[in-house]
Structures are given as C-alpha cells and as structure tokens.
Amino acid sequence: MDAKRLLELILILVLHFQGISGREPFLYKRPGEEAVLSCTTESSSPPTCSMVTWLYNRDQDQTLTEVWNGEVIEISARAARLSVNTDCSLVINNITAEDAGQYGCRQGGDTNTDVYTFLSVLTISPSPPDTDPKRDGQVTLECSLLRIRDQPCLENSIRWVDETGAELLGEGDGYRVLQQTDCVSRLTVKRQSGHNRKYTCQFVEENNVKIEADYPPDFNDPNQIYIIIGGVVGAVVVLVVIAAVLIIYRKRANVTEDVPKPTQHPGEPESNLTYVTVNHANQQASSYKKVKKEEVMYSTVRSQKTEADEDPSSLYSNVRKLK
C-alpha cells in the first residue's frame, strides 16, 4: 500500500468519526441542487459568525477564501450563489461541477477549529454533448464524480443500471460498459425508436448508493409530440371562437332590448316620424327650493290631407302634459 492510499484511508476514518459524532463530512450532489455545509460538530462550541472564515480548495496546492468574517467575498466568481446562514453554515445554490472540492470552516485565526466538508458532484452526459437524443444509433454516456483531486475513486465504485434496476456488466443487448477510469465511467448504448430505455449511473461506497443520476433519452417519435401539441392548440382556438361569438350575441341582444319601440295607433297610416320623450326641469332653480319635475312629450303629426304640402297650417304640434 502506497503512502497516498494510506493517507486517504486515514482521512476517511477521521471524517467518518466526525460523521458518527452527528455531522456528515461527505456531501454528494447533482448539478442544479443546493448544498448546506455545516460549520460545527457536536463536540465543538457554537461559532460566532462575525469571526467565521470559509476556505475552499479543489487541490491541496491552492486555497481560496470564499467567506471572511461572516461575509461572502464579492470578488468571488460564485459570490451570487453563496450565502451564510445564521448558524454560520455555508449555502451553495445551483451547484455546478466546479463547486466540487474541500471546504473548511475556521473560527477566527485558530486552525484547530477547522471543520472540513468534502463536496462531490455527480454528472451524466452524452458524448459528444451535442448528440441528438431523437436519432437512432449509438451514443456514449459519460458519468463523472467530481471531487477533490487528491481523493480518487475506488475501482468499480461507479456502476450502471437499467430501468429495471439490473446492473449492466460488460456487454449485453444494446449496451457495452467501458472500463472505469478513476472517477469516470462510460456506457455505450444503441438507441432505437420505440424502446423506452433509461440508464442510471450510481456511485457506490461500501455497498451503499451515495448518489445516482439518470439519463432518459427521448426515444418517442417526434411526430407524435407535434400531433399532441397541434390538437391542444386547435382545441384552444375553437374555445376562443365560441366565446367570442357568445359575447357578440349577448351585446347585440342587450342593444335590441334598450331601443324603445314607437306606439302605432290603430287605423293610423304608417309614417317615418320619430317620437321623442323630453324631460324638462328648471335647472336654474335655487338649491333651497324643491323643483317640480314635469315630463312633457312633444310630437309632430302629419295630417292626411293632400294639401299639406301647399298649406303649412296642416302641420301642427301637439303638446301633451303627461300625468
């Protein structure tokens, strides 16, 4: 056993002891998720956030300061995704592969108070990345566990399973598992339209699945999707047209009801005269006096004499006070 492997085992034992004491030093996440990194252990005293510093490194050669005296460093490339909780824990939003690594929480300048968390990020993607998932043919899926560089993955710690949960080994019907290289495993699959296959990459440690990620290619016929979308759009258009017709019909019905119909007395000939009702009130009356409101109807009647055009007296006005 080489010195590097021995150092790794010692580090794992120490961190597992911290986990037994109530804190999980290893976190496994997928891109887009959120991680909360604790700054305390059960044996440590509650920290003062105004004196807390959060340090990050992907390898042992370079350490970055992300939080200083409880405040996120604004010049950090990921400052917008970092925040500090009231218990001094570090929150990382919308995790990316670049967030993987070692994080240390330090109180003041005392290195003896350092509390470490190791964040690993599992990704799965087709290779090349621009592979069309709707096209038949072969595609290579690449599953990677990104973590601190000095912490390699054990052999066969990354495995593939199908949609039934069965582990894929070697070469089988429509797939071929390539040999794992460090923390990267590849699976070559043959895609066929109509075969809904799902492939899952798992990271296993001590026979326990720590994290997994799925790759569900869309093997459905794209024409079926367009048909469904077209049907939904067509139904919406029909409903809009029906609603518009009903609104127009109701508006026309209301206008027809509001128009007064002229009274036609029996025996009178039809005419094109219009009858208007006028409400007359004394608008200049004093506000201290009651105004008697009278309703008067003015009408114009054309007589049946044929001399009407020659004698204007045949046209007369009739003023009638309505009771």
Domain residue ranges in the chain: 3-120, 123-215, 221-260
Q: Using the structure block, give the residue that is written with the tokens 């199908």.
A: 162
Question: What CATH number is given for 3-120 in this structure?
Answer: 2.60.40.10
Q: In sequence order, what are the residues at sequence separation of 6 or more whose Cβ sits closer than 8 angstroms to the Cβ of residue 173?
A: none
> Class of the 123-215 domain?
mainly beta
- Each residue's pLDDT, cut to its tens digit, for the chain (323 residues) gives 454 444 344 444 444 444 444 567 999 999 999 999 999 877 667 788 999 999 999 877 789 999 999 999 999 889 999 999 999 999 999 999 999 999 999 988 888 889 999 999 999 998 766 665 556 678 899 999 999 888 889 999 999 999 889 999 988 888 899 989 999 999 998 876 656 678 999 999 988 999 999 986 444 444 444 444 555 566 777 788 888 888 887 777 766 555 555 555 555 555 554 545 545 444 444 444 444 445 545 444 454 555 445 555 544 444 455 55
Here the tokens at position 97 are: 């592969």
- The kind and range of the H/E element at 275 are none
Evaluate if pTM is beyond 0.85: no
Locate 281 and state its tokens: 């009130």
Q: Which residues have CB under 8 Å from 319's CB, separation 6+?
A: 296, 297, 298
Task: Find all residues with CB under 8 Å of 162, minimum gap 6, and list them.
Answer: 168, 197, 198, 199, 200
